[in-house]
Each structure stands twice: as C-alpha cells, then as structure tokens.
C-alpha cells in the first residue's frame, strides 16, 4: 500500500516528540565568570555546569576511559569507584577501592586520584593501603606499582599521572588519608613528597619541599610538570622542567591563588588538567580556575560554595567532567584535552 506524506506526519511528529522527551535535562550549578575575553574562545556563551549525578560523600579522581566511553571516579570516604556513562548513568565499578585492611582506618580510606596508563590499566592512588596500584579494566586483580620509598611507607598517595613521553608515573603524597593527618603516629616520612616510578619499577623522590602537594599534570609535550599545592597559606601552582631521566629541575611559581583564598572563597588548588592550547583548568578558591599558558587568570567556573576537587576531559575530548564535593558535574567547552 502506498502511503501519502500527509498520512505519515502525525507518526513522524510522535516519534520526534518522544525523542525530544527522552533527552535528559540536568540541574545546573554555579555560573561562568569572565576575567579575560580569551575565555570566550574556550567556553561557549551558553555553557552551563550540569549536575549529572549526586549523593556522594567526597568525589575525586575522575578519568575518562576512551575505549569504553565512560567515566570512572572515586568516592574517597565510601572506599568506592563509580562508573558513569550517558546511557546507563551511574553504577558501582569497584569496592573496596583503596583500603582492604581491617577496621575503619580513617575517614578517607578509599582511592583518590585515578588515571588510565598506556597499557589501558586503571592506575589508582590508594589512601588506606598507602600505595599506587594497577588493575586491568577487562578483569583481573590489582598489582602494586609502589608502596614505599627506601623501606618507608607512603602517607596517602593522592593524585597520579603518567608521562606519555618517558613512561614514568608521577604521584603526590600528602597526609589527607591518614586518620590524624600530619599528626598521625603511623607516618614514616618526615615530608610530603612527589615521586616518580620509572619504567623499570624504581621509585624515586623528586620533590620534597612542598607543604601539601596535590594534583599534577603534564604539558602536552611532557616537558613540564605542573603541581597544585592545597595549603591555604601557600595556595599555588608550581611548574617544573622535566629532565631526560624523568627527574625534574628547579620549580617556578606558576600561579598564586593565596590572595584569592584569603578572601574567604572555599576551595584550594587541587586537581588540574591542560587543554590542547596549554591552558590550565584547575580546582581552586570558588570553583574551577582557567589559567592561560602564561599563568594569567582567564576566568572561573563558580560552584556556588561547593568545593571543586578535580576534573577530567571526556566524550570527544571537549567535555570537562568535574567532581564537586558530593556532585559529579560536566561542562561543554570549545577546546579539547591536551592528551586527546
């Protein structure tokens, strides 16, 4: 039977209506603050910070799994890694994620920073077990990449990244996962270090003069290491040249957020990522700060008084996923991640 177009229009309208109705609408958090017109090239005028999942205690360590098209992130106090994707939304991925011992240990005993290495494994900073671990995503148990330096256990590894040029892993080791933080009797080091795990599996201490090293990220060419410090008295980002052996040279102050912190805005430099143009997107006082390659504040994604902890590029590389206290959020940008 031959149907005329006019007879198909009601059906077509119904299909379109159902499709439009099925599109998910998420709550919006905060607002965009522009300090420099250059920010308008990085964020669309209609960009909004969407809240795509809630109900967590303290979210951290988001990482996008390109091969699977999904996001993983930690809820540190819940000792859990969650999975989020557009179709199925939220699901449990791994529990326990950072502490497998007896008792409670601390209020932040789970995994914190996460990354995917060149082998496609999930690399985790484990607070409770005080180690850096690697786990295949397609099944199989964890292995320990490092849990001590010169026989002394780490404090609580916080964030980790792999240098794609030299293959080494780099991680920070502040006291946030210890039951009594810097006063905890189980501490075995007198400093809060930044470490390198070489491709041969050797652990090296590369920085020991930071008071609260936290998030870290590399420039696109792998030649500069950026480290955020979560110290309210010294709330800044540092940059370090990477040497041929994977160690780092003398650090330089890249951006000082201490004056901003002193105004009473909640949050400190924590997790950070770079885009393809070398701009830095970092958590900080008030939300996510966007800094130029020269260290100039271009603007901010404000989070309405909620603490932004970390961020990661996802989807096609242009969506920035952000962990904000008990929320998982995202915002569409006009750029892409440096490692995309």
Which residue numbers belong to the known binding site for a divalent metal cation?
A: 60, 214, 270
**Contact in structure between 35 and 42 (CB atoms under 8 Å):** no
Query: Listing from the earlier edge strand, what are the strands of the sheet with 319-324?
Result: 50-53, 327-332, 319-324, 308-314
Region of 335 on the Ramachandran plot (φ > 0 left; ψ -120 to 50 alpha; else beta): beta
Feature table: binding site: 60, 153, 155, 182, 214, 270
Feature table: binding site for substrate: 153, 155, 182
Query: In which element (H, E) is residue 8 found?
Result: helix 5-22
For 331, the 3-state DSSP assignment is: strand
Phi, psi of 13, deg, nearest 5:
-65, -40
Please report the DSSP string for 214-231 in residue order. Answer: EEEEE-TTS-EEEEEE--
Active site positions, annotated: 270
Q: Which residues pair with 330 in a beta bridge?
A: 50, 321
Helices (H), 103-233: none
């Amino acid at each position: 039977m031959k149907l005329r177009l006019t007879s198909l229009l009601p059906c077509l309208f119904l299909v379109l209506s159902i499709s439009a109705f099925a599109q998910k609408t998420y709550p919006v958090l905060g607002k965009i603050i522009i300090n420099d017109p250059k920010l308008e090239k990085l964020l669309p005028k209609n960009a909004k910070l969407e809240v795509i999942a809630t109900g967590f205690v303290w979210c951290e360590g988001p990482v996008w799994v390109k091969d699977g098209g999904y996001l993983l992130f930690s809820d540190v106090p819940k000792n859990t890694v969650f999975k989020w994707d557009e179709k199925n939304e939220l699901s449990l991925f791994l529990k326990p994620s950072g502490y497998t011992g007896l008792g409670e240990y601390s209020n932040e005993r789970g995994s914190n920073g996460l990354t995917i290495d060149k082998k496609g494994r999930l690399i985790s900073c484990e607070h409770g077990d005080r180690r850096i671990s690697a786990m295949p995503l397609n099944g199989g148990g964890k292995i320990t990449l490092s849990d001590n330096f010169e026989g002394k256990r780490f404090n609580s590894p916080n964030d980790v990244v792999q240098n794609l040029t030299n293959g080494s892993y780099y991680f920070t080791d502040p006291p946030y996962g210890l039951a009594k933080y810097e006063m905890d009797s189980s501490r075995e080091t007198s400093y809060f270090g930044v470490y390198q795990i070489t491709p041969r599996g050797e652990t090296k201490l590369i920085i020991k003069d930071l008071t609260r090293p936290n998030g870290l990220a590399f420039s696109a060419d792998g030649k500069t290491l950026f480290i955020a410090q979560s110290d309210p008295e010294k709330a800044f980002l540092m940059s370090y040249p990477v040497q041929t052996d994977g160690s780092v040279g003398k650090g330089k102050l890249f951006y000082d957020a201490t004056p901003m912190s002193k105004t009473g805005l909640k949050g400190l430099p924590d997790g950070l990522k770079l885009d393809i143009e070398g701009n830095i997107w970092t958590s900080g006082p008030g939300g996510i700060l966007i800094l130029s390659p020269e260290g100039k504040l271009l603007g901010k994604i404000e989070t309405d008084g909620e603490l932004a902890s970390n961020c990661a590029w996802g989807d096609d590389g242009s969506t920035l996923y952000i962990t904000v206290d008990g929320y998982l959020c995202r915002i569409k940008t006009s750029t892409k991640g440096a490692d995309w």
